Amino acid sequence: MARLTAGLTTSHIPAVGAAMDLGKTGEDYWQPVFAGYDWTRQWETAQKPDVVVLVYNDHASAFDMKVIPTFAIGCADSFPIADEGWGPRPVPVVEGHADLAWHIAQSCILDEFDMTIINEMAVDHGLTVPLSLIFGQVAKWPVKVIPVAVNVVTYPPPTGNRCWLLGEAIARAVASYEEDLNVQIWGTGGMSHQLQGPRAGLINREWDTAFLDRLTADPEALRRMPHIEYLREAGSEGIELVMWLIMRGALGPKVRELHRHYHVPASNTAVGHIVLEPAP
């Protein structure tokens, strides 16, 4: 049977992808951003997951204002890299796992999560920057990826509790898949940042740190946190952090923290990254 073995979260800042693509990772500005991923790259080499369920948000790339799915799952065999206005990132095409993806979609719908099924979709920095951070610059991604795109742009986004429950449903779906696969779930986006208006540039290190702590110490509090708290404390784009709760819900009631990284700034944003595994 398929096994959900670990989860991680990471910011997915576009400038981080650009820094990698343009060979700037050794610069003083960028070096501390990337150093925090060294541990994870080593760890991931040993973990060798077969599939990553990658939770992210599309940034007006695959979805425009015509169709706004709250939860969408990519069920294709492959996903091309989006042109976000300056040409597609020079990274490999993302290979899907259509069979497991359809299994998760079907299972979640019967589990009362009415997923939108996507058969053709370009993926943007929200999905490719995390892959670059964890796997580096490679000719081919070493995992298959099931994209789960969440609307966190047009209000209201799903509640934290709903995200948590979707994570639980994804975990049940993975556990009922017959092939023996090592599956990870990644939550991406965040941490504190605001990309608009006179309040742009807001960063809240204290709140971000508490959020990272609570992923292991008090996830129930995160689950009940209303949107307004994310907006007030972590900035308007900090709302992306609700997506981390899909990852967290999937890992079960107790988790062990394996690694953490936090750095300010990358572009306008606080970089947050944590690696968790389910605990008995």
Partner 1 sequence: MTEPRDIHAYLAEFEDIPGTRVFTAKRARQGYHLNQFAMSLMKPENRARFKADEAAYLDEWPLTGAQKKAVLARDYNALLDEGGNIYFMAKIFSTDGKSFLQAVGTMTGMTPEDYQAMMIAGGRSPQGQRSKKEQR
Q: What angle do CA 171, 39, 256 make, to 5 degrees?
A: 40
Among 85, 140, 178, 180, the residue binding partner 1 under the rule CB under 8 A is: 85
Please say whether the beta carbons of 133 and 19 come within 8 A: no
- C-beta of 180: minimal distance to partner 1 in Å? 33
Total of residues contacting partner 1 (CB under 8 A): 48
Q: How far is the CB of 154 from partner 1 (least distance, A)?
A: 5
Among 72, 115, 212, 270, binds partner 1 (CB under 8 A): 270
**Is 125 noted as a catalytic residue in this protein?**
yes
114 binds partner 1 (CB under 8 A): no
- Of the pair 15, 243, the CB lying nearest partner 1 is at 15
Task: Check binding of 128 to partner 1 (CB under 8 A).
Answer: no
Q: Which is nearer to partner 1, 90 or 201 (CB)?
A: 201
Helix axis angle, 205-217 to 227-234, nearest 10°: 140
Nearer to partner 1, 32 or 136 (CB): 32
Q: Minimum distance between the CB of residue 38 and partner 1, rounded to whole angstroms?
A: 22
Q: Residues with Cβ < 8 Å from 21, sequence gap 6 or more?
A: 89, 90, 91
Of 12, 97, 125, 261, catalytic: 125
Alpha-helical segments (H) within 235-276: 244-250
User: What is the rounded CA–CA span in Å between residue 61 and residue 144?
Assistant: 21
Q: What would the two tokens of residue 227 be?
A: 């949107």
CB atoms within 10 A of CB 95: 16
Query: Is residue 89 part of the contact set for partner 1 (CB under 8 A)?
Result: no
- 158-217: contacts with partner 1 (CB under 8 A): 159, 161-162, 165, 192, 194-205, 207
Q: What angle, 0 to 180 degrees and rounded to 10, lies between the N-to-C axes of helices 160-175 and 98-110?
A: 120
d(CA 51, CA 28): 34
3-class SS of residue 137: coil
Spatial CA neighbour of 151 closest among 88, 252, 62? 62
Name which of residues 44 to 83 contact partner 1 (CB under 8 A): 59-61, 64-66, 83
Asked if 184 contacts 241 with a C-beta cutoff of 8 angstroms, the reply is: no
Exactly one of 12, 97, 193, 273 is catalytic; which is it? 193
Nearer to partner 1, 49 or 160 (CB): 160
Residue of 206, 160, 205 whose CA lies nearest to 187 = 160
Residue (7 or 235) nearer to partner 1, CB: 235
Which of 155, 178, 180, 280 binds partner 1 (CB under 8 A)? It is 155
Joined tokens for residue 252: 């079960």
Give yes or no: 193 in active site: yes
Active-site amino acid positions: 125, 193
| Contacting positions for partner 1 (CB under 8 A) | 14-15, 18, 29, 59-61, 64-66, 83-86, 153-156, 159, 161-162, 165, 192, 194-205, 207, 227-228, 231-233, 236-237, 264-265, 267-268, 270
